[in-house]
Amino acid sequence: MISARSWAALGLLLLVFAIATFQMSSGLFTIDEFILYAGADAMWRSGGFAIDNGIAGVVSNQLKPMLMVAGPHGIVPQYPPGMSVLGAPLLALFGMHGMMLLNSLSAAVTVWLLWRMAARHFGGQRVALAACALLLGASFFLEYAFAVWPHAVSVMCVTGALSLSFDSMTDAQGRARRSLAIGALIGLGLLFRTDTVLAVPALAMALFLFADRPFYRLALTGAGFAPFVVLASLANLAKFGTLNPVSYGQEMAGGTNFASHALAMAGLVVAGLLAVAGRLAWDRYSQRIANWRPALWIAGALALIAAVVAHAFVWRYLHGFWALVVDATYVQAMQPGMQHLPNGTLSYWGFWKKALGQSMPWLGVLAALVYAGRGIDRRIRWTVALLALVWSLPFFPKDWHGGMGINMRYFLPLVPLLAVFAASLIVELAQAGTATKRKLILGAALGVAAHLMWVEWHPTHIAGANQILPTWLFLITAALALAAGLRWRGQAALRSLAMVAVGAGIGMAAMLGWGDLHDSQRTRDRANVLSREYGQMPANSLAFIPAPFLVGWALEPGHVIAQRNIGTGKFDFDLIDQAIDRGYRVYIWPRFVTRALIDQPGYRLEKSGLSTGRAELFELIRADSPQSPADAE
C-alpha cells in the first residue's frame, strides 16, 4: 500500500522536474533527436509516420536523412513509435520542451521508484537517500532526463519492472497484479527504446528460478507484455513492412538485426533451458540430496568448457567490458568523428566519451560485493547479475559504445541499480568504521580538487580529466574496496582509505556529470542559434546541412534536407542538377565543403550571408545560373 506521503513525494518530484524542463535548452544534441522530432511532427500533421522531404519527380538516396528508412509509405523514422505518438500532442502544445517533458517526468518517476526499491530491499531510508543522491548528483542521469531521446522512459520502465520483480520474490501477495505490471512496463519501454526488451530474458529467468508458482507468474507477465509487442509489430508493419517488433527497418551498427546476435541468443536459449532443468531438479530432488557440491563442480566445469569452445567470443566480450566499463580509449568500433589522439585520449566530434567507470569512479566500491552486501537478498543479487549479463551481450562483444553521446547511454537503465548497490555497500562499510561521513566529504573535496588541478596543469587538460584521471581513480577505488575485506591488522586503515577513495569518486563524478550536462546544454543552445540563422533560407531550397540545425525550417513544403554520402563525403550532382532545374537553391554547410566540391566543374561556391564566421552557409551556384544571389539583390 502506497502512503499519502509517498504520493505527495511523487507529485513534488514531477513538479520540480517539469519546471526544470522549461529552464533547459530546447535545442537538439544529435541527429537521433531530430529523427524523433520529425516523427512526432509527422504524426501531428498527418496522423502517420512518413515525413515530407522530397522534390516532385526527383529520386535520390541523399534525400533520405540519416537514421531514416524508405518504407512502403515514404520516409519514416527508424526508431520505435512511442515518441511519435505521445510526443506529437506535447510537441504541438509546448514545442520541443514538450517532447523533453516525456523524459523528465519519467526521470522523476524513476527517482521515486528507486527510493521505494532501495528502502524496501536494500537496507532502509539511509540507503535510499544515498542511492538517489548518487543517481542525481554523481552520474550522467540528468543529462538524459532533459533531452528528447527517450532514455529516461526506458530507465523508468526497467526500474519499475525490477522493483516489482523484487517484490514478487519476497512477498507472495499480489502475484497476478505484479506479474501483469512487470510485462506491461517492459512492453511500454519497448515502444520507446528497443533495448528495453533485454529485460525480458533476464527477468523471466529470475522469476522462474526465484519466485513461487513460476509458470503462473511467467504466463501473466507474458500477458502483460503481449499487447505492447502487438502494437510495436503493427507500427513496424506500417513503417517498414515487417512484423518484427524490434526492427529498425535497416541493419545498423547498433545491431538491431537478430542474425548479428545469433551466438548470444543461442547462449541465452541454452541458459534458459538449463534454468528450467535446474528449477525442476531442485523442486524434485532438493530434499533428498544432502551435498550439492558435486553438482556445482560439474556446472563449473561445463562453464569452463563452454568458455574454451567459444574463446573468440569470450575474448571479444572481455575486451568490450574493458572498453565500455573501464576505459573508453580502448574502443575499437570507430565511427566518423572519432579520433585517437597522441596524448592517449579519444575524441568524438570534440567530446570526451567515457566508459561507465570513467563517468562514475565510485563504481569501484562494487568490488566489495565479493565479501559485503550480505544483507541484500540473494535472489535480488542474482536477478541484477542476470540483467547486467543479458544487457551486456549486444554491446560488449561488438565494442558498441552507442554512437554519438558523451557517456555510455545504452547502459543508463542499469545506473539506478548500480547506484543502489553502491549506496548499500557504502552504508554497510560505514557502519564498520568511524567518522565515515568526514572521510567521504574529505574524499569528495579531494576528487573535485584533483579534477580541477588536472584540467589546469596536466598536459592532457580536460581530455585527461575525463579519460585518464577517473580511470585510475576507478581502479584504485576497486582495489581498495576489495582489499578492505581482508582480515588483518590493517583492515581498519584500508576501509578508511576505501571510504576516502569512494568519496573522491563521488566528487569527481559530480564534476564530470555536471560538466557533461553543461556541454550538452551549450551544444543545444548552439543548435538553436544556428536553427534561427539557417531558418532564413528561402522556400524551394535544398539544404546539405545537419538536420539538428534546421528545426523550424525543415519538414515544410519546399524545405528539403539532403544528406551527402557519409562514408565518402560525395554529393549527388544528379540530385543537385534536378533541384536547380526545378528552381531550387542549394546550400552547403561549411564543414561539408571539400576540395572536390570546390573544384567541381560547372559550379562555384558563394557565401550566402546566412550566419557568420565559420558557420556561414555556402550557396552552390551552377555556371549556367543567370546571376548569383548577391547580384539578384
- Mind listing the pLDDT tens digit for each residue in 208-251? 888 888 888 899 999 999 999 999 999 999 999 999 898 888 76
Higher pLDDT, 68 or 263: 68
- Which residue type is seen at 49? F
When mean pLDDT is compared across 161-175, 491-505, 542-556, the lowest value belongs to 161-175
Read off the C-alpha cell for 420. 543502489
What DSSP state is assigned to residue 537?
S
Q: Which residues contact 522 (CB under 8 A, 6 or more apart)?
A: none
Position 299 confidence tier, pLDDT thresholds 50, 70, 90: low
**8 A C-beta contact, residue 576 and residue 586:** yes
When mean pLDDT is compared across 162-166, 332-336, 422-426, 500-504, the lowest value belongs to 332-336
CA neighbor of 361 nearest in space, from 278, 457, 479, 526: 479
For residue 347, the model assigns a pLDDT of 85
626 pLDDT higher than 70: no
268 pLDDT higher than 60: no
272 pLDDT higher than 60: no
Identify the three-state secondary structure at position 353: coil
Read off the C-alpha cell for 50. 512518413
For residue 631, the model assigns a pLDDT of 44
298 pLDDT higher than 70: no
pLDDT tens across 120-129, in order? 999 899 999 9
**8 A C-beta contact, residue 271 and residue 205:** yes
Largest CA distance in the chain: 95
Q: Are strands 603-607 and 618-622 parallel, antiparallel or unpaired?
A: antiparallel
629 pLDDT higher than 80: no
Q: Are strands 541-544 and 559-561 parallel, antiparallel or unpaired?
A: parallel
What is the mean predicted confidence (pLDDT) over 587-612? 91
**8 A C-beta contact, residue 508 and residue 500:** no
CA neighbor of 615 nearest in space, from 604, 606, 607, 623: 607
1 pLDDT higher than 70: no
Distance in angstroms between the alpha carbons of the first and the last residue of the chain:
72
Compute the distance between CA of residue 459 and CA of residue 344 in angstroms, rounded to an integer.
11
